[in-house]
Chains A and B, each alone.
Chain A
Amino acid sequence: MVIDILISALLVIGGVFGLVGSYGLVKLPDLMTRLHAPTKSSTLGVGGVLVASMLMGIVAGDLSWHELLITLFLFLTAPITCNFIAKAWIARNLTPQDLPPTGTPRNWATLDLTEEPVLPALTPPGQPGRPS
């Protein structure tokens, strides 16, 4: 009975956090703030549901570790996606004057669209040492 209440509380908390994450996607004013809603709140909501699922497995008698694996993948991949979307937004909306100086001769890598030469330089074709 106690574990039922615990599972129910986790499910309700997870559902509320998931809904807040999706609602924040619509409500918040600017893309950089909007990135916070899904990456933090929704991930936490899914985490709550997964912990509830693990507890339910304990009640049923077979504890499975798949849920922890799903949580691990989500916690690893959400920041990567967030970082890439933020970089895309910077590349589309900002100029180098809007950003703080890097302190090196190079510009911000996100805004630097030039092709860099490969170092050390490849052996030109026809020379010894070139594989093809």
Chain B
Amino acid sequence: MILDYALGFAFVCFGLGLLICLWRVVFAPSIPDRVLALDTMVVNMIALLVLYGMYYGTGIYFEAAMLFAMTGFVSSVAYAKFILRGDIIE
């Protein structure tokens, strides 16, 4: 009962955070801001996947969340490296 309300609240919070990040990706003052917003989107998405798994009581979504956590930062680092040096693998 109370758990359902708390789950709904967490869904709303992280969904709103995802929307704010999307707004930031589109209207960003500089390019590193865009990379930062994309990285935050990955973090919010991991939380949403875990919440979805809790809501339906299955363990499948944890595998997806773990894959996100393992590989999500690679793209951010690659973007930042490209901004930094103009090349990814020197």
Contact = CB atoms under 8 A, between A and B. Distances in A.
A43 B72 CA distance: 14
A45 B57 CA distance: 20
A67 B84 CA distance: 33
Interface of A: 4-5, 7-9, 11-12, 14-16, 18-19, 21-23, 25-26, 31, 34-35, 37-38, 42-43, 45-46, 49-50, 52-53, 56, 60, 64, 66-67, 69-70, 73-74, 77-78, 80-81, 84-85, 87-89, 91-92, 110, 113
B18 to A, nearest CB: 7
B14 A15 contact: yes
Contacts, number: 159
Given A7-B3, A26-B24, A73 B69 contact: yes
Given A7-B6, A22-B44, A37-B40, 7 more contacts: A18-B47, A25-B36, A31-B32, A74-B46, A81-B77, A81-B80, A92-B30
Interface residues of B, number: 51
Chain A binding surface, main DSSP class = helix
Given A22-B21, A26-B24, A53-B54, A113 B85 contact: yes
